[in-house]
Structure 1
Amino acid sequence: MAFTDRSLPAREAILRAARVRFGDDGYDRATVRSIAADAGVDPSMVMRYFGNKRQLFALTAEFDLRLPDLAAAPREQVGQVLAAHLLDRWDDDHALQILLRTATTDVDAADRMRAIFAGQLGPQIAALTGDPAGAATRAGMVATQTLGVALCRYVLRLPPVVAMSPAEIVTWIAPTLQRYLVSTP
């Protein structure tokens, strides 16, 4: 979405107000009307610039995967460690689920999701493998698996995947993550 220079101050005010409001009230209690009031704009401007509350949230919330130090884990268990950790993060963080849902239809939210995986997982993989050049590819492959599971479990709510226990999911995906993380392609 292209914006004129005149719209930039209003957009920035809305983003600032949204960060504070979402931080103070959480996603469910924050409203477009309250964010607009805090920013000193009409609620229609929030909708015009950001589409809806979900898209605004996806652009303003801070997302930290809180990754464990994979280099400190036994090398033969890094896939399991990462699978268990990411599944716990998805289970416990409604905001990540909202970001994923929004990223399927919103370019800015998709950019945010890509940045999270590249910026947080890429350096971990580079440290783990000693191969910074290949880290982005490996992080991308890890993202295909973990985002696919998250999409099926939390967004599409695919019954067989929803019915699985976290331990069962880890058992299924850990070998694939292990291969993406440390095996020679």
Structure 2
Amino acid sequence: MAETPPRRSDATKAAILAAAREQFAAAGYQAATIRAIAAVAGIDPAMVMRYFGSKELLFAAAAEFDLQLPDLTALPRSAVGAAMVSHFLDRWEGDETLMALLRTAVTNDAAAERLRAIFATQVAPVIARLCGEPRAAVAARAGLVASQILGLALCRYVLKLPPVVGLSRAEIVRRVGPTLQAYLFQT
């Protein structure tokens, strides 16, 4: 059976995604524009909107994130929760595109799936190594860690709840670290 040749719309969509990745990486989420992405892709900006609907949805489709999780197995077990909170605060504060994905994921299924995939493929394996358990056995732990980290990011950086925004980083690490510690290691 002969293989079906790719449709022209598939090629256009791939060109848009490649251009979007390039522009988001070069200019950041805020500065990247649909016009610039379309120019790099060699198409009209209306085509970008036709395929993706909005800058946020294009971003969610194009997003490739590395949470850059450190090797936490080298730390004393009692310090892992605090180190993880500190690391995630660094990531949320240092990457506007990650924040854009979180904002988009709240209302868009594709972005939510992308965020779930990031946590499943990057956080769950780290937790499995930390706990010495098979990856399948740490799903609940990884889910609870994600709920804490994503909830914190949503409240502090997206909703900007004053009591959470007003906390220093040290206070957040001191208060949230033990919660992650419990999620990671309590049976």
Q: TM-score, normalised by structure 1?
A: 0.91
Which residue number corresponds to residue 116 of structure 1? 118
In structure 1, the gaps of 5 or more residues are none
User: Within the alignment, does 1:137 sit opposite 2:140 as a pair?
Assistant: yes
How far residue 111 of structure 1 moved from its aligned partner, in angstroms, is: 1.1
- Alpha-carbon displacement from aligned partner over 1:126-155 (angstroms, at most 9, x marks no partner): 111111132222111100001001000111
The 10-residue stretch of structure 1 (46-55 or 77-86) with the greater mean CA deviation from structure 2: 46-55
Partner amino acid, structure 2, of 1:100: L
Aligned residue in 2 for 1:104: 106
Shift of 1:23: 2.1
Q: Provide the C-alpha distance between the structure 2 equivalents of 1:126 and 1:79, rounded to a whole number of angstroms.
A: 14
* Structure 1 residues 22-69: Cα deviation after superposition (integer angstroms, max 9, x where no partner): 222222332101211221222112112212112212322321111121
Q: Tell me the residue number matched to 2:56.
A: 54
Report how many aligned residue pairs link the two structures.
181
Which stretch shows the higher mean deviation, 90-99 or 141-150? 90-99
Output the CA distance in 2 between the equivalents of 1:70 and 1:182: 13
Unaligned stretches of 5+ in structure 2? 1-6
The farther-off stretch of 109-118 and 129-138 is 129-138
- Counterpart CA distance in 2 for 1:93 and 1:23 is 11
Counterpart residue identity of residue 21, structure 1: Q
- For the aligned residues, what is the CA RMSD? 1.6
Cα shift at 1:86: 0.8
Q: What CA deviation, in whole Å up to 9, does each residue of 1:83-129 have, x standing for no partner?
A: 11111211111111111001111111111111111111111111111
Match of 1:151 in 2: 154
Q: Give the distance between the partners of 2:169 and 2:61, measured in 1 at CA.
A: 29
Moved over 6 A (4+): none
Residue of structure 2 equivalent to 1:69: 71
Does the CA-based 8 Å contact 2:72-2:80 persist in structure 1?
Answer: yes
- Stretch moving more, 54-63 or 79-88: 54-63
Identity percentage over the alignment? Answer: 60
* Number of the residue aligned with 1:174: 177
SS state of the match for residue 183, structure 2?
Answer: helix
Q: Distance in 2 between matches of 1:23 and 1:94?
A: 11
SS at match of 1:63: coil
Between the aligned partners of 2:152 and 2:48, the Cα distance in structure 1 is 32
